[in-house]
Structure 1
Amino acid sequence: MTSRPICVLGNLNVDLVMGPLADWPQPGTETFVDRCDFRAGGSAGNTALVLQRLGARAGLVSATGDDALAVMLAEPFYGPLDRIARLPGRSGITVGVAHPDSDRSFLSYAGHLDRTDLGFFREALAGWPLDGALALISGGFAMPGLHRHQRALLDHLRLEGAEVAIDPGWPDDGWTPRNRAEALSCAEAADHLLLNDKEITGLTGRDTADAAVTALAETLASDTTIVVKCGARGAIAAGPSGRHEATAAACAPFDTVGAGDAFNAGYLAALAKGHDIGHALQAGTDTAGAVIAAFPRETGPIAAPGRRRSA
């Protein structure tokens, strides 16, 4: 089966994951944790790395700073469809703090991500085979230079012939009226809207993911597929092909950082191979489970996921 190319656009930065941490340290004190991993990450970077492990025909369009970390960040992305630029300034860093219940909190320094704006991405996409491709904009709210212009980038991708997906992430200043309006404008231009359960309830103001999906479906175009990643509860999707659910295998991971990004990779890789939404939803769920099962993160191949359990 011929697979369509997948273009991942967004944030590439260093991820420092530490924990577990039950309580935040008091000012002026020092706390030691048992586990740590230092790796290339960011929402788009995580998805692109998992697509490599799935053997997908994919490329990352992103950037690093011009410091010593740039070499580590760019090293995994040497394929013919990767476009990694160096921008002035220090590379962005995210510290992920793992909690005993497998949840996590983040502290982020944007660094070079301030300069990954609309002009940068349009220039970096020159020559990329977008016609017929799948394109994901990931981590838009983590890129101060882009997030007010995500809709324009989505429109550009669509004009170039791509089927587009968006995973905006969590806005730094919360779901303000302006951030909601921006996210909804982008969702209107997307074929696939990929959110987690906290993001979709924050966006819509509803109490549950199910209620949020119903409310959002009434707002968006009928050809938009809304996907909600619910962690250990699996995932749900609603769109032109109806409603679908996927179940997650039982596990107790230490590090869930990037689980949603891994889901995005499995979901898009399945769509690129021509599978339907139900299969893709399960593939995303299975891929996320396979990735977060290991700490530190592995880099080897992941077996083809996506056994269809429900539709």
Structure 2
Amino acid sequence: MHRAVRCMVPGQPDMAARPILVVGNANLDVIIGHLDQWPERGTESFFAHGDLRVGGSAANTALVLQRLGARSGLVSARGDDFAGEAIGRAFDGPLDRVATRAGATGFTIGLLHPDSERTFLSSLGHLGDLDADFFCTELDGLPLDGTLVMLSGGFAMPALMKGHRALQDWLRARGAEIAIDPGWPDGDWTPDERTLARDWIAGCDHLLVNDKEAAALAGTDDAESATATLAPWLDAEATLVIKRGAKGATGHSNGRTLHASAVPAQPVDTVGAGDSFNAGYLDALARGMPLHERLKHAVAVAGEVIAEFPRTSSPLGTTPESVPA
């Protein structure tokens, strides 16, 4: 049996697909590497790779959705400096809502390591006071009924943490389908942060976390056992997705667990790999594709993005129709 597909040009909006809104953090990313050990204090080091670009979990996902031709937008904020101006230029579409806040734009230094791992050092800047009321104000007036809404980077916005579930409920009451990727809390997981995250998980339709986040949340050593712990925390019809890097991705829904292998890639810059995966997943979901095809499309998109350096804004060649069955 063959599924009918729509042909489309990468980067061109597919108007038959559902709209997608990405809600969360946008900041400046400073990427350098590769770093195998911390430099001696008081010295200077030079690196072969360096990039200065718009970033943040939500913005990374929204940028890749642009490149995929999704009907999408970013709901976020920026500071009133040069970095904020760059964010504003990147998101000026009909579904984008990026408010200007007084003060410096937050930024993240991403350190690339030779084993494809990365480490982040961040300054919150304008992100420090973005709360649920701010996002409700910015979302008001946007089409929400039937829209896919991705809440991304909740732990990067301290003022949002207590109101995160209230924002989810506000969106659901307006007909939105909710996906979340909470990110990693400052430092490490505390009992309070696990309790918050569990409340968020119970109020979403799609949970997308990487293998380390899944294990930390579940208190287990590996992604396989984390699935058994986390799945009951979700609504019966919700979907759990665990991003596993070079091992691909695992999805669990309606009592079934599926796996998609990673596409062979030569990773150069893995900053935003999970955010790119999220974009591929949402893109396929917006087009009505089943879970296994969403996973395959997501790992293919992430593989294409992390092989780039520096990042570009050109259309991506990976489409759901181009991923092997």
Q: For residues 167 and 292 of structure 1, what CA distance do their matches in structure 2 show?
A: 19
Q: 1:263 and 1:231 mapped to 2: Cα distance? A: 10
Unaligned stretches of 5+ in structure 1?
none
Alignment match, 2:177: 163
Tell me the equivalent position of 2:95.
Answer: 81
Match of 2:239 in 1: 225
SS of residue matched to 1:174? coil
Amino acid at match of 1:130: L
The Cα shift of 1:304 comes to: 4.3
**Aligned to 2:312, what secondary structure does the other structure show?**
coil
Distance 1:35 1:82 in 2: 31
Q: 3-state SS of the aligned residue for 1:221?
A: coil
Root-mean-square deviation over aligned CA pairs: 1.3
Which whole-Å CA distance do the structure 2 matches of 1:219 and 1:75 have between them? 39
Question: Can you list the C-alpha shifts for 1:115-141, whole angstroms capped at 9, x where unaligned?
Answer: 211111000001110000000000000
The residue type equivalent to 2:100 in the other structure is R
Q: Is residue 34–residue 114 contact of structure 2 (8 Å, CA) maintained in 1?
A: yes
Match for residue 220 of structure 2? Answer: 206
User: Which residue in 2 is equivalent to 1:95?
Assistant: 109
Q: What is the CA-CA distance between 1:34 and the residue it aligns to? A: 1.2
What does residue 266 of structure 2 align with?
252
Q: Distance in 2 between matches of 1:75 and 1:142?
A: 22
Match of residue 53 from structure 1: 67
Shift of 1:221: 2.2
TM-score, normalised with respect to structure 1: 0.97
Answer yes or no: is the 8 Å Cα contact 2:112–2:269 preserved in 1: yes
1:287 aligns with 2:301: yes
1:182 aligns with 2:188: no
Residues 20 and 73, structure 2, Cα contact 8 Å, conserved in 1: yes
- Aligned in 2, Cα 1:94/1:254: closer, same or farther, shift over 3 Å? same
Q: Could you tell me the TM-score, scaled by structure 2's length?
A: 0.93
Deviation beyond 2 Å, 4+ runs, structure 1: 218-221, 303-310
Q: Is the 8 A contact 1:151 1:185 kept in 2?
A: yes
Cα deviations by residue, 1:147-171 (Å, 9 ceiling, x for unpaired):
2211111111101100000000000
Could you tell me which amino acid in structure 2 is paired with residue 242 of structure 1? R
Structure 2, unaligned runs of 5 or more: 1-5, 7-15
User: In structure 1, how many angstroms separate the alpha carbons of the residues matched to 2:214 and 2:94?
Assistant: 35
Identify the residue that residue 23 of structure 1 maps to in structure 2.
37
1:270 maps to which residue?
Answer: 284
Describe the superposition over 1:241-286 as per-residue Cα deviations: whole angstroms up to 9, x where unpaired.
7211111122231210000000000000101011111111111111
Q: Which amino acid aligns with 1:281?
A: L
- For 1:7 and 1:74, how far apart are their aligned partners in 2? 16
Q: Tell me the secondary structure at the aligned position of residue 297 of structure 1.
A: coil
* CA–CA separation in structure 2 for the residues paired with 1:69 and 1:23: 29
